[in-house]
């Protein structure tokens, strides 16, 4: 858990295309979950992903800021989607 409703996933040796495909797959899998509570469906669960690749020339703060901006754009454009920076 990175923040209140934010989680960070760090992947090593991953190209941008792989990162986006994996993130899209995760969004679809979460959307398809059937979450039950006391034998009643809770409804649809969704996630938004902000993806970025680390650039060794930038600081950790810059890296996190770019990921956070991508997440903001995903949420701003309707949620339940992936945005990359």
- Convert the pLDDT of each residue in 6-38 to its tens digit: 999 999 999 999 999 999 999 999 999 999 999
Rounded to whole angstroms, the Cα distance separating 34 from 36 reads 6
Instruction: Indicate which CATH number applies to the domain containing 53.
Output: 3.30.70.270
Instruction: Give the structural domain span for 50.
Output: 16-84
Domain count for the chain, please give it: 1
Position 4 in a domain = no
Structure tokens, 16: 């941008």
Position 7 in a domain = no
Rounded to whole angstroms, the Cα distance separating 70 from 82 reads 8
Average pLDDT estimate for 35-50: 94
pTM of the model: 0.89
Rounded to whole angstroms, the Cα distance separating 70 from 43 reads 26
């Amino acid at each position: 858990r990175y923040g209140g409703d934010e989680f960070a996933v760090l992947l090593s040796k991953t190209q941008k295309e792989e990162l986006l495909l994996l993130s899209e797959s995760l969004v679809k899998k979460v959307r398809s979950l059937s979450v039950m509570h006391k034998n009643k469906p809770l409804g649809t669960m969704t996630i938004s992903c902000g993806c970025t690749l680390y650039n060794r020339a930038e600081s950790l703060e810059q890296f996190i800021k770019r990921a956070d901006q991508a997440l903001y754009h995903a949420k701003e454009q309707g949620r339940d989607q992936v945005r990359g920076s």
